Structure 1
């Protein structure tokens, strides 16, 4: 029975497409998953693969004509089912003739008889020889994905939940696990091809199942008898499935390869072109080269004829074009730059303090005394959380220029952290406290002591009533206090009254820290360097995926006499939730 080839959905809101080129002609043999035609829409140019194996019986939508999604483009089936061409049944007696002549030419009779016998099980395996592996939903509003890499080949054993292929969407790159165990019998969506959510990607049969795509080896074996007999008439009926397909349409190209088949080398290239479907022209930018790849090559200035494709059948993929463009760019850059790498060698700076003995400054002496008093006067402990800064990273990136234009100060990451700390301390009052003899004083407001590195030493100016200030006000106050701390313009009231401390050790590239709590406070939070690194996160379906995220460590040192580890952990989780939510846009005053 003939099978209809319909126009699949080509993306959200895409309802129709234009047939730009048919890659096969009526009468041609088509393998399952082999590119059949090219379609162009207002969003994408792509190839449509054949969903089944057989002979192209009829083309219903000609080139340059439009078709709605779901419309029948062509029909594929057995040549005997072609109703539009009455001449098609005539080859059947021709195929039966060798069977009648079996006593005279047994070798020629067996060859055509075996070819249909091998083709018959192939469709059976593709239609019912296994269970379907479909493309699962990959997130809200994601309707399609691109197969970037198959991790298994046809014929491989696959375990349940074992990674089977990699799929890329506009939101996530992820692996698709096999839903069941068995043998991969058929791949329906090739690499670099798109598939709708719910589309069948592959089929997996029971252990020991024969792979479905055995028709391709049959075509490859068919050319083998061609060079063996010297007469051309004997090999001609041997590839029975391919011969009618090339003789049905009147164009002259099919006879030309057969005349060139007399030499041994051309005889091998002609059957390969019929079986694979123009894999050789892939290197010249036709055949397997999709419009997207051609467009990309034109944009990158890459000559397709110079590339050797890494895809199936020598197909040139996007990765081949990008690799060639990158190699050309590196070669051009290397040619432009003269050789001067020696200038990059860092020069060691020699401190003027080497070999000297100096008296401690007043600030340095007070700092050392306070640090020793704090370290030995309380039971200090440090707890750390790791925080994903993606939201504030993106918010700062898009707002920093407008923020500086309006407020006159730079928007750094520190105001986001101090704002989150001030909000969290309202809930976790045990950290916004101090010890007074045998009593604990829980302060009514959040006054943040900010560690500032100055030429005279460490200073702790105070950002008072921090819980009532926005991110914009935090940024302005931090800039003002830090500048006046370095210039010596702070009053005594502005360096006292702190109830909790924040130190930005990440400004110097520090990845981790264990800060000392300044007495009489009971807590200090360090904001370390924000570094992009690969982390394991949850994908849209709850699966584990690796993603590049800007991450930061937040160490909290606290007085264990009045703050328990569980209390400290709860405070850190609140700060973490506020940062990862990144809901600060309305506090920027833009």
Structure 2
């Protein structure tokens, strides 16, 4: 029996999604609830799991394809069995193992290359070692990612400058480091120790973090598991590859062992319920600490107020429905809601320059350009990359820019420049189902716009009741610079432009 593999139902404010990565291929045997594919929207990554045990029969849409909610992207044959590899397919692996064994016998050239922390921007004091993807003695190739360096804004990758073997690792995960500090070395042209004679390349576990899927890396990071500890986890995937389910099983087993150990150490007189309770303590990431500091600073250093309004999204939805196919055919990207909001906000910023300004000491700085920050949820936390010169971008350029920033945020590839600046922020809590909220200002900006879930509600129109798709809008602003008149006028302008999108195109 064939089971359809479908894209999850997307929130109303999300136009479409894309396939971030398949964790299986046609012919692979899978188990119930195993993660098959990651589906990426402009805010979050959704996981699609197997509904039953079986075999992947067909993959219809590949990585990078744009898909819609509930669209069929693959087929699962329930209860099937994977075809075994032929002897001819296994032979090359043995030859490769033999070849690598011969290569391992070569002597090292002895040239030593220092592995250094990248140059940090002036605004970043130091950084920390997030994850080592290699160990001392491992063979590495040129441009292979060796270690992730985490600042309070972005994660920087340090790659190998040449083929060789990892020498001594001077700084371990969690260590605080400075710009251009030497943290390890590579023996150029060296080769790793030969593997044991009984261990073939097919039998060797592929738990090296350079081969791990994004979902596995996230699972390891979220549970505080280092690359060294990850080597202790037995992989159940193809050729011993580590899967997200392996990590979750390891974490559960580890928690049970820890709970049993704590229970054994407690007094016999202690109640059983208390002995069974456990907790986990992990240090905050630099990004999370930075977000906490900025949010607290915003609450303590601004006179923040929030004003609300609601917008009828039917006109925008009608435009999308009428021109979606033509738009995608011409520009190669689907038309979403966010580009309309950025365009409306940019026009409102032109009419209310106080909202586009910032306070610097006793001065007010009016910005004559329009850089809009877009809040993006990533596995590491909330980030706000900047869309530069939004007044000069078409709807297609806006959609492409927003998508590019979202993908970079998900993969931890955002640069310091892409995270710096911004005069105004837009955040969309509607993708998570939020109906109304009071967003916090992103200092030193003066205001932030919160989008929310689109929900059909009965509305009075010309003396009659109509069911319309409505969205609540929330504008939080710094009352030290923006008065009620400007804040309400700004929000009403955004509302009017969205309810009559033709005005956005005619610039009236």
Q: TM-score range by the shorter chain?
A: 0.3 to 0.5
Q: TM-score, normalised by structure 2?
A: 0.44
| Structure possessing the higher relative contact order (Cα contacts under 8 Å, 6 or more residues apart) | 2
Give 1 or 2 for the bigger CA radius of gyration: 1
